[in-house]
Amino acid sequence: MSNSEVTIEATVRTQTGKEYARKLRKNGKIPANLIEKDKSTSLELDPKWLGKAYQNGKKFNLTLEGNTREVKIQEICIHPTKRVALHVDLMYA
C-alpha cells in the first residue's frame, strides 16, 4: 500500500483541554493539530490507519470538510507502555 492509498478522515475539534482529549481517546479517536504557516487547526481523527501511514513515509491523505490533501506527520506522541498514539501534529506535504 503506497502513501497515496492511505486516507484518514478528520473533523474539526471545537473543544480543547485535557478532559476533552481523554474523552476522545476513550471513544477511539485521537486529538491532532494541523499546522500551517500562520495558524493551527485542532482536529480529531480515527487512528486506525495511522500506523500504516507512519510506516509508509509518514505521509497520507487527510480528508477534512470534504477536501482531501496530502499531509505528513510532523510529530507523534505515543503512550510509553500501551504503544498507542496520544496526539499527532500534521503539516501539509
Q: What is the pLDDT of residues 9-55, one digit of tens each?
A: 999 999 999 999 999 999 999 999 999 988 999 999 999 899 888 88
- Residue 56: CB partners within 8 Å, gap ≥ 6? 1, 2, 3, 6
pTM score of the predicted model: 0.88
Residue-level pLDDT at 81: 97
Residue-level pLDDT at 33: 96
Q: What angle do CA 82, 56, 73 make, to 5 degrees?
A: 65
Position 2 pLDDT exceeds 80: no
Residue-level pLDDT at 73: 95
Q: Which CATH fold topology does 3-92 show?
A: Ribosomal Protein L25; Chain P (2.40.240)
Residue 7 bridge partners (DSSP): 61
